[in-house]
Amino acid sequence: MSLDAFIDALPKVELHVHLIGSASVPTVLELARRHPDRGVPTDERALRAFYTFRDFPHFAQVYAAVNALVREPEDVAALVTGLARDLASQGGRYAELQVTPYAHHVTGIPRAEVTKALDLAARESLAEHGVEIAYIFDIPGEFGEEAAKITLDHALEEPPAALVGFGLGGIEQRRPAYRDAFRDAFTAARAAGLHSVPHGGEMTGPETIWEVIDGLGAERIGHGIACLDDPRLVAHLRETQIPLDVCPTSNVCTGQVARIEDHPLPRMLEEGLFVTLNSDDPPMFATTLAGEYRVAARALGLGRVELAQLARNAVTASYLAQERKRALLAEIDALVA
């Protein structure tokens, strides 16, 4: 079996992908033409150029512009089922999709309608594409206390049936001003039974990772690539085996890593850290989940055994039911054998 065939056949789980960032180029073009006043290009070449990011703040601006195109509950549902369709074509079986309720609040979609759309889309994704969808509600950190409150209220009062986690993303440098609000929101979410899965150490140093561990009770961490700058943190992550959801192409596209060949993923594995492989915002970064496995193999030198272990890690770190985990792990083992 060729490497490409092996990667295509590998059962995959996606743990770090954002709803808006998963919108395919044709979907964004359709929405942009429907709302030409939103500043998003309506031509494919121009849109792909629009997705060339100077840095993370510029990426956040582009992301917000695309989010402004999502105006109706039907748009929300279409993004979910579109992601499921794309994952199914790559051997994807399950995804924990990061949804930002505050973004839909800003565009005026009632939260009850967002929840209804997410529930409908999860059912359709499984029925039509064989991909099981769960949700993580994500606070955009730069919007502070208001965003934390709106996200928490939606999670506690009108959650979709498949809500499993509570997250924190956005521009990390702006978080310290709202530290107490985020801690309070996570305390309430965890008390309600939601898993803590914040971003940390993507665009700032190890101190952000320590904060999500100590202040937010992180059970899994988005990105975490800055951990290598702190040997004590590396030792803690090795000992606790807190999963780190790593997104190599994303880190290059947003300027957090200069070249894909410089990505710290291989060293993180050498240090014995628990790593999963993910796509983050795939069409915006011209990648896919399967594409990230190809990057790990061709640019970062990982072999089939290591790729299979990354796939196992994603299953193990997921919030799937144990029976589904066992079945997927057995599939991966059978492919390797």
At 138, give phi and psi (nearest 5°). -120, 125
| First CA to last CA distance, the chain | 12
Residue 202 annotated in active site: yes
DSSP code per residue over 280-316: BSGGGGT--HHHHHHHHHHTT---HHHHHHHHHHHHH
One of 96, 132, 202, 292 is an active-site residue; which one? Answer: 202
Structure tokens at 229: 């700058």
CA distances from residue 331 to 11, 14, 335 in whole angstroms, order as listed: 7, 16, 6
Q: Quick one: DSSP state of residue 101? A: H
Spell 206-215 as b/e; 16+ CB within 10 A means b: bebbbbbbeb
CA–CA dist 88, 106 (Å, integer): 31
8 Å CB contact between 141 and 175 = yes
Active site residues: 202
